[in-house]
Amino acid sequence: MNVHRMICEGENAAEVLFVCTDDQCGRRVVLGKSRPKIVVIDDGELGASHIGSMGGVFIEDVDAA
């Protein structure tokens, strides 16, 4: 299984934007800070496992389901 790293590309007081570093993928998700929630903006490569972290926020194997 492919493993893609995601990096923080932007944030505000409530949410953090993570993007996949794989050019062929383009997955983008928004994570809520105050409460755990994930909003998938772009699915990217669904078969890949996505991991990333920023500050106290960690994501691992985020699925669109």
Q: Which residues form the interface with Zn ion (CB under 5 A)? A: 4, 20, 22, 25, 27, 44-45, 48
> Nearest Cα to 3, choosing from 34, 42, 37, 47?
47
When the beta carbons of 14 and 58 are compared against Zn ion, the nearer one is 58
- The distance of closest approach from Cβ of residue 52 to Zn ion in the complex, given in angstroms and rounded to an integer, is 10
Q: How far is the CB of 34 from Zn ion (least distance, A)?
A: 26
The C-alpha atoms of residue 48 and residue 58 are separated, in whole angstroms, by 17
Q: Which is nearer to Zn ion, 14 or 63 (CB)?
A: 63
Q: How far apart are the first and last CA of the chain?
A: 18
